[in-house]
Structure 1
Amino acid sequence: MVLRPSQTLPLPPSRGLGRRFWMLWAAFLIANLGTGISAVGFPWLATSLTRDPLLIALIGVAAELPWLLLSLPIGAIVDRADHRRVLAATHWGRAVLVGGIALALYLDLMALAILYVVAFTLGTLTVANENAAQTILPRLVPRERLQVANARLTIADTVAGVFVGPWVGGLLVGVALAVPFTVDAVLFVASGLLVMSLPAAEPQVSEASASMRADLVAGLKFFWGHRPLRDLGLLLGVLNMAGAVAIATQVLFAQEILGLTAVQYGLLFMVGAIGGMIGAQGTPWLERRIGPRRVLLASLAGSAAALVIVGLTSSGIVVALALSASAGLGLSWNIITISYRQRIVPEGLLGRVNSIYRLISWGPLPLGSAIGGLLVTLGQFFGGREIGLRTPVLVAAAVIAILFVIALTRYSTGLWSRTGSVDADDQE
C-alpha cells in the first residue's frame, strides 16, 4: 500500500512545478544566501572572542540543541498552523536576531554569552522553519514531481548557502565583522515577504481534533512502525553526530592547519558547492540508473573517504576537492530520503513525523559538537595542537565507515531494497 499525501490545495499540472513552488524557491534561495553569509560570519566572530576549541564547539552545541529539545512540540505546532505564516515568522525572527548581533558589534557590546543565546534561539527558529518548508512542499507540487522539486530546492540551497553565501561572507568580514550580519538581516526580511505571497492553507490537524500529546503519539506510532523510515532516522542520527564531531572546530582547522583567510575560507565552501550542485542536479538520473540503495551506500563510502583525506592533508585545494565530492553524494542522500519521506507519510502527519525524524537524526548534533571539542582538547594534550585539530576528523571518518558496513550488510527494505520497490508498505 502506498500512503499518499492529501491534496488540500489545487496542484499545478503534473509537468510543471507551478508559480507557487517558484515563489517558495525564491524565498528559500534568499534565506539560504543569508545563512551562507553567516556560515563564515559566525565562526569568524567566535574566533575573535576566544581561541579555546571547546568554547567554540559549544556555540555549535547551542545552535543544535533545539533539534534535541524542541523538535517534537514544534512538529505538532506546524501540523496545526498555516505553514506560510510559520515560514515568514521564523524568517523575520532570524532577521531580528542577526540584526541584534550587528548592533552589538557596532556598539562594541559583543560577548561570547550573547553568541550562545543567539545561537540557541536561531537554532529554535531553524527547527520550525525547516519543518514547515518540508511539510508545505507536497501541497505545492504533484507527488510525482517531489523528487524534481526537492532537487531544485537543494540546488538553490547549494548555490546560495554554500557556493555564493560563504564567499560573500568572507568578503564582508573583511570590511567589518558587523557587515555580514547586517546583510543577513535584510535577506531574511525579504525572504519572509516572499513567503507571505503564497496562498494560505488550512492546517490538516484541527486544534480541537485532539490534544497535542495525542498528535505526537500518532506521529510516533507511524514513524516507529515504519521500519525503513525508522532505520533511516537512526542511521542518519549517528551519521550527523559524526559530521558534527568533524566540523565542530573546522574554523580553527582552516585557520591554523590550512592557513586560510576569511575570504579563502568562503572559497573553500564555494568549491565544495560545485560538487553539491552536480550531485543535486544528477540525483534523479542517478537514482533511476543505479537505484537509491547504491546511491545511499556511495554517499556513506564517499563521506568516509573524504574525511580521511581532509584529516591527513594540509592543502586547502585537496580539502576543497574532497569536500566537493562528498557534498555531491551528501546532497543526493538528502534529495532521495526527503522525497521518500514526503511520498510515504500522509500530509496530516507530515509535520509530526518530520519532527520525530529530525529529533532522531539531528538530535545527536549537540553531542557530536561537544565530542568534537573534547577530542581536540584531548588530542592537543597528548600530541600537540595539530594532532588535536586532526583527531575529530579522523574519528568521524571511522564512524561513517562503520555505518557503511552496517547499511551494506543489514538494510534491505524501503530505500535500501535491492529490487528498487521503495514505496512498498513496510509498516510493522
Structure 2
Amino acid sequence: MSATEASRKASEGAPRPRFGLGFTAVCGGMFLANLASGISSVAFPWLATSLTENALLISGVAVLLELPWLLASLPAGVFIDRADHRWTLVLTHLFRALIAGGIALAVATGSTELALIYAAAFLIGSATVLNENTSQVVVPRLVPSSLLERANGYLVMTDTVGGLFIGPWLGGLLLGASLTLPFAVEGGLFAGAAALMLLVVLAPRARELPNRTLRTEMAEGLRYFWGHPVLRTLGLFLGLLNLSGAIALSTQVLYAQTILGLEAAQFGLLFLAGGIGAMLGAWLTSTLERRLGARRILLISLAGNALSSLIVGLASNAVLVALAIAVGGMLSTIWNVLTVSYRQRIVPEEMLGRVNSIYRLLAWGPLPLGSLLGGVVVTVSEALTTREIGLRTPLILAALLAGALTIVGFTKLREGIWSPDYRAGGKD
C-alpha cells in the first residue's frame, strides 16, 4: 500500500469533527437574542411613530441603537480579551432583558416618552456591542478551524432567521395586539438566551491578564489591524456599505406606511423577505466560494446591493420591494460569512477581541451617522419637493453610494482572502 493510500484510509477512518453542546447553545442563544432584536427593530420605531411623525426624531431611535458601535467598540475589545467570555454573554443578555421589560412596563402604564425610548435604545445597543463581539470571538474556541465557515454560516443563519425572518414579522403581529406585548416578549427571549449560555463550557485560555493600560492594549490592536491590508480594506468597504444601508433603513417605516401603504404586520413581512434571502445566502456561501471564488462573490455582493437599493427606491409595489430586499439580504450574508471566517482564522486568539472590535467599529460605527443622514435627507428633500420624493431620496442616495463602492471594488479587491493561500493566513 502506498503512503498516499495509507493516508487516505487513515483520514477516512478518523472521526469527523462535530459541533458540540457549547456551540449549539451559542447558536440557540443567538437565535433567541436576535429574535428579540428583530421584534424591537419593528416595535421601537413603531412606538416612536405613536409619539411623533417627525422623520428626524424617528430616525433618532436607529441612531441611538447603533451609536454604541462608534463609542464603545474599542474599549469593548480590550474588555473582551480580558473577560470571561461565558459570563459576558450571560450578563449582556440579562441586561437587555431588564431594559426591554422596563419599556414594556412604561408602555403598559402610559408613561412612555421619546426620551425614554432613546435611552432604552442606547442601553440595548451598548449591551449588544459586547454580546455580539464576544459571540464571534468565542466561536474559534468551540469549533475546529476546518468547521469555521460552516459554523459562521449557521450563526449567520440563526441571526437572520431570528433577526430578519421571524422577529420583525412576529413584532408586527404583536404590535397588532398591543404596544406592550412586543417588549414583554422581547425581554423574555433575552432571558432565555442568558439561560442557554450557562450550558457553554470553555477551556481556560493560556493567557495572563496584562499589566498594561487600556490605551496601550487598544493601540496594539489598532497597529495589528491597520498593518493588515486585507482586514483594513474589508473593514472600510463594509463600513461604507453599512452607511448606505443605514441611510436607507432609518426612515423605512415611513416609506412603508406612506408609499407602500403597509400596516404593522405587513411591514414585518418586508423583513421576512430579507430574512429568507439571508438564510439562502448562508446555505449557499460554501458552494459559491468553491465554484466562483471569493473575489467574484464579494464583487457581485457589492453590485447586487446597489441594484437592490435602487429598485426599492424606485418601486411602489410591495412584492417587488420584498424581492429586492431578499436579494440584498442574500448577498450581504454571503459577504459576512466569508469575511468573518477569514478574520477568525488569521487573528491571534489573544487579540481577537480587540481586532474584531476595531473591524466592527469601522463596519458598524457609520450606522448612527447613516441613520441621522437618512432623517436629514428626508426632512430637507420633502421640504423642497414632496413627501413621496423625500422618502424615496435616501434609498436612491444609498444605491448611488453602493454603486460607487462597486466601481472602486473592481480595482481594490484584488489580493487577500480570495488568493489561493488565504486559508494559510497570508496577509497578501
Q: Same fold (TM over 0.5)?
A: yes
Within 2, Cα distance between the matches of 1:301 and 1:204?
A: 43
SS at match of 1:60: helix
Is the Cα contact below 8 Å between 1:173 and 1:180 reproduced in 2? yes
Q: Tell me by how many angstroms 1:409 deviates.
A: 1.5
Within 2, Cα distance between the matches of 1:211 and 1:14?
A: 43
Partner of 2:28: 26
Is the Cα contact below 8 Å between 2:308 and 2:328 reproduced in 1? yes
Task: Give 1:299-318 correspondences, 5 Å limit.
Answer: 299-318=301-320
Within 1, Cα distance between the matches of 2:40 and 2:15?
A: 37
Partner of residue 377 from structure 1, selected from 359, 363, 379: 379
Partner of 1:182: 184
Partner of 1:219: 221
Within 2, Cα distance between the matches of 1:265 and 1:297?
A: 30
Residue 425 of structure 1 aligns with an amino acid whose one-letter code is G
Is the Cα contact below 8 Å between 1:163 and 1:274 reproduced in 2? yes
Is the Cα contact below 8 Å between 2:277 and 2:329 reproduced in 1? yes
Task: Give the alignment's TM-score, normalised by structure 2.
Answer: 0.94
Is the Cα contact below 8 Å between 2:294 and 2:338 reproduced in 1? yes
Is the Cα contact below 8 Å between 2:21 and 2:200 reproduced in 1? no
Is the Cα contact below 8 Å between 2:142 and 2:202 reproduced in 1? no
Structure 2, unpaired ranges of 5+: 1-13
Is the Cα contact below 8 Å between 2:295 and 2:413 reproduced in 1? no
Partner of 1:425: 426
Q: 1:14 to 1:206 in 2, by over 3 A?
A: farther
Within 1, Cα distance between the matches of 2:391 and 2:16?
A: 50
Task: Give 1:137-176 correspondences, 5 Å limit.
Answer: 137-176=139-178
Within 2, Cα distance between the matches of 1:240 and 1:193?
A: 32
Task: Give 1:91-106 correspondences, 5 Å limit.
Answer: 91-106=93-108
Within 1, Cα distance between the matches of 2:213 and 2:414?
A: 36
Q: 1:331 to 1:299 in 2, by over 3 A?
A: same
Residue 360 of structure 2 aligns with an amino acid whose one-letter code is R
Partner of 2:3: none
Partner of 1:56: 58
Which sits farther off after the overlay, 399-408 or 154-163?
Answer: 154-163
Partner of 2:7: none
Within 1, Cα distance between the matches of 2:390 and 2:423?
A: 42
RMSD (Å) for aligned C-alpha atoms: 1.5
Is the Cα contact below 8 Å between 2:70 and 2:364 reproduced in 1? yes
Which sits farther off after the overlay, 22-31 or 131-140?
Answer: 22-31
Within 2, Cα distance between the matches of 1:339 and 1:155?
A: 14
Q: Tell me by how many angstroms 1:416 deviates.
A: 4.8
Residue 345 of structure 1 aligns with an amino acid whose one-letter code is V
Within 2, Cα distance between the matches of 1:160 and 1:132?
A: 19
SS at match of 1:415: coil
Partner of residue 391 from structure 2, selected from 389, 395, 414: 389
SS at match of 1:367: helix
Within 2, Cα distance between the matches of 1:210 and 1:237?
A: 30
Number of equivalenced pairs: 415
Task: Give the alignment's TM-score, normalised by structure 1.
Answer: 0.94
Within 2, Cα distance between the matches of 1:348 and 1:155?
A: 27
Q: 1:424 to 1:26 in 2, by over 3 A?
A: closer
Is the Cα contact below 8 Å between 2:40 and 2:183 reproduced in 1? yes
Partner of 2:245: 243
Larger Rg: 2
Which sits farther off after the overlay, 350-359 or 33-42?
Answer: 33-42
Is the Cα contact below 8 Å between 2:88 and 2:130 reproduced in 1? yes
Q: Deviations over 1:243-274 (max 9, x none)?
A: 11111100000111111011001111112221
Partner of 2:131: 129
| Pair 1:327 & 2:329 matched | yes
Partner of 1:282: 284
Within 2, Cα distance between the matches of 1:414 and 1:349?
A: 20
Q: Tell me by how many angstroms 1:402 deviates.
A: 0.6
Within 2, Cα distance between the matches of 1:158 and 1:37?
A: 12
Is the Cα contact below 8 Å between 1:82 and 1:202 reproduced in 2? no
Residue 426 of structure 1 aligns with an amino acid whose one-letter code is K
Q: Tell me by how many angstroms 1:410 deviates.
A: 2.2
Within 2, Cα distance between the matches of 1:183 and 1:201?
A: 33
Residue 323 of structure 1 aligns with an amino acid whose one-letter code is I
Instruction: State the percentage of identical aligned residues.
Output: 50
Q: Tell me by how many angstroms 1:40 deviates.
A: 1.4
Residue 301 of structure 1 aligns with an amino acid whose one-letter code is A
Structure 1, unpaired ranges of 5+: 1-11
